[in-house]
């Protein structure tokens, strides 16, 4: 059995200088009595989480224990080694929503927004839509690699094993591989799905390698399972440290003391403002590379909490609307709108304390006279000043916010980020009396789509 994060004093050895994410909520303006009120609820919620952790393999909260599942990790690592032997130059993920958003978030955060353009060993692309023109361009990219006698790995991901968009794209690219690699094409395909799903059974017949998604881990909570770990490992990302970061923060995020529990604290603040009719939650990231983390969180919150009725069958009057902004880019667009004070918005600022690179503005330049304040400064110092100026402007306008600080952009801290926010959404669901695990209304479009296609 795995270590229990509620009981283990030391889950994993802390790397030198590595700490936990820091959350500054002094400008959230949440009353102390609200924290006390939630603390009382937290005991009941914590007991429920404890029971779920102890019953690993049987509840929607299984994702909390996923980072501790070394058996699954070893199987994934073994498959990564076997596929990297082919020296692939392109990895194509065929999947949508929870099947690719988490992977993209980690890749962009750790390898950068321009990863593919910097000629890495393996480029990453995603077929997550059935837009003809976009998929056609992907077909051309894959064809070009194959014609150069380079290898391409295709990772087909669908929890249900029946996602319409995924199956359609999978058939296109499987056929492409068949023509180029004939009898060996199946060696370049990995299927990630639920055990014995329709896709699993089809993959077994075709002799594709299969990775199992834990039964009770929903798609949007699956980034630390085979869904994310296989493609991330293929790209050379340290998935062991990603899981280590998630492990390291789990104990805090499952504490029954709200002052020591960052996930419960974030959930409490959002619940409080939701009841104050502030229904927009803007994730404002002061790092371009973290934009996809915001997109991942947008799906996590929207699909988990966008429900029409509560667990006690009350009608939901207003849901929380997640939005994503990037500093300093969006200060010149939605920043004006938010600072006007006309939006019911709560903001989470995200900053990076230490970047991987440092660029200085030249001290002698033909443009020095235009802005003497930036001469000789690092771009990081300028970005930090912009964040501080933005925070000050929010304070003056009495707009509530919290700030999450990532000491660095590395696998350890990104693992913490993912685990903390997934657990926070569970707390928020319970506090709002919502089921954070289902998505009944998404099924409406899927069912109607199949009916329309069947009639054509």
Q: What is the pLDDT of residues 155-164, one digit of tens each?
A: 999 999 999 9
The domains found in the chain, sorted by start residue, are 22-54+241-431 (3.40.50.10490), 66-237 (3.40.50.10490)
Stretch 280-309: mean pLDDT, rounded?
A: 97
Considering the chain, what is the average pLDDT of its residues?
91
Stretch 117-135: mean pLDDT, rounded?
A: 96
The answer to whether residues 356 and 291 touch, using CB atoms and an 8 Å cutoff, is: no
Cα separation of 107 and 105, whole Å?
Answer: 6
- Region of poorest pLDDT, from 240-254, 313-327, 352-366, 390-404: 352-366
Stretch 405-411: mean pLDDT, rounded?
A: 96
Q: What is the pTM for the complete model shown?
A: 0.93
pLDDT at 2 over 60: no
pLDDT at 358 over 70: yes
Q: Using 50, 70 and 90 to split pLDDT, how confident is the model at 424?
A: very high
Question: HEC string of 57-122?
Answer: CCCHHHHHCHHHCHHHHHHHHHHHHHHHCCCEEEEEEECCHHHCHHHHHHHHHHHCCCCHHHCCCC
pLDDT at 39 over 70: yes
- Predicted pLDDT of residue 129: 97
Q: Using 50, 70 and 90 to split pLDDT, how confident is the model at 41?
A: confident
- Predicted pLDDT of residue 370: 72
Phi-psi region of 238 (alpha: psi -120 to 50; beta: other; left: phi over 0): beta
Look at the block and give the residue holding tokens 């069947």: 454
- Predicted pLDDT of residue 275: 93
Instruction: Report the alpha-carbon angle 347-353-355, nearest 5.
Output: 115
Stretch 183-202: mean pLDDT, rounded?
A: 97
pLDDT at 271 over 70: yes
Q: In the Cβ-directed half-sphere of 379, how many Cα atoms lie within 13 Å?
A: 11
- Predicted pLDDT of residue 392: 97
End-to-end C-alpha distance for the chain, whole angstroms: 51
Q: Using 50, 70 and 90 to split pLDDT, how confident is the model at 351?
A: very high
Q: Using 50, 70 and 90 to split pLDDT, how confident is the model at 1?
A: very low
How confident is the model over 212-238, as pLDDT tens digits? Answer: 999 999 999 999 999 999 999 999 999
Higher pLDDT, 166 or 444: 166
Lay out the sheet containing 280-285: strands in order across.
Answer: 22-24, 401-408, 345-354, 280-285, 321-326
Over the range 392-423, which residues count as b (16 or more CB within 10 Å of their CB) and which as e?
eebeeeebbbbbbebbebbbbbbbbbbbbbbb
pLDDT at 25 over 90: yes
Q: Using 50, 70 and 90 to split pLDDT, how confident is the model at 439?
A: confident
Q: Using 50, 70 and 90 to split pLDDT, how confident is the model at 373?
A: confident
pLDDT at 318 over 90: no
Higher pLDDT, 75 or 59: 75
């Amino acid at each position: 059995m795995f270590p229990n994060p509620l009981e283990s004093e030391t889950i994993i050895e802390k790397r030198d200088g590595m700490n936990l994410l820091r959350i500054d909520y002094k400008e959230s303006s949440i009353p102390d009595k609200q924290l006390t009120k939630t603390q009382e609820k937290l005991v009941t919620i914590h007991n429920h989480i404890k029971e779920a952790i102890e019953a690993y393999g049987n509840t929607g909260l299984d994702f909390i224990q996923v980072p501790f599942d070394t058996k699954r990790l070893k199987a994934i690592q073994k498959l990564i080694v076997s596929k990297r032997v082919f020296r692939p130059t392109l990895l194509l993920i065929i999947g949508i929503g929870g099947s690719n958003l988490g992977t993209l978030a980690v890749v962009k955060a750790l390898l950068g927004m321009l990863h593919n353009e910097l000629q890495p060993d393996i480029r990453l692309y995603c077929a997550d839509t059935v837009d003809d023109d976009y998929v056609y361009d992907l077909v051309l990219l894959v064809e070009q690699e194959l014609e150069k006698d380079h290898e391409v790995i295709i990772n087909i991901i669908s929890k249900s094993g029946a996602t319409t968009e995924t199956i359609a794209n999978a058939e296109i690219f499987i056929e492409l591989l068949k023509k180029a690699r004939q009898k060996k094409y199946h060696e370049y395909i990995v299927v990630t799905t639920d055990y014995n799903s329709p896709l699993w059974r089809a993959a077994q017949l075709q002799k594709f390698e299969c990775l199992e998604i834990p039964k009770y881990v929903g798609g949007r909570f699956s980034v630390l399972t085979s869904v994310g770990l296989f493609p991330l490992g293929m790209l050379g990302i340290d998935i062991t440290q990603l899981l280590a970061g998630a492990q390291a923060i789990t104990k805090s995020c499952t504490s029954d003391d709200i002052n020591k529990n960052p996930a419960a604290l974030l959930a409490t603040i959002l619940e409080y403002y939701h009841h104050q009719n502030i229904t927009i939650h803007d994730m404002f990231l002061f790092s371009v590379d973290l934009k996809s983390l915001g997109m991942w969180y947008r799906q996590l919150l929207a699909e988990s909490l966008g429900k029409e009725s509560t667990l006690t069958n009350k009608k939901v009057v207003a849901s929380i609307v997640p939005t994503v902004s990037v500093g300093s880019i969006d200060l010149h667009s939605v920043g004006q709108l938010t600072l006007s004070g006309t939006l019911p918005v709560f903001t989470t600022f995200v900053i990076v304390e230490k970047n991987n690179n440092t660029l200085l503005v030249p001290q002698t330049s033909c443009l020095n006279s235009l802005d003497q304040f930036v001469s000789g400064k690092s771009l990081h110092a300028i970005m930090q000043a912009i964040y501080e100026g933005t925070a000050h402007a929010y304070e003056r306008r009495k707009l509530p916010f919290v700030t999450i600080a990532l000491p660095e952009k590395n696998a350890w801290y990104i693992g913490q980020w993912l685990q903390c926010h997934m657990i926070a959404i569970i707390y928020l669901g319970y506090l709002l009396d919502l089921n954070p695990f289902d998505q009944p209304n998404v099924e409406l479009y899927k069912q109607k789509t199949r009916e329309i296609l069947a009639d054509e």
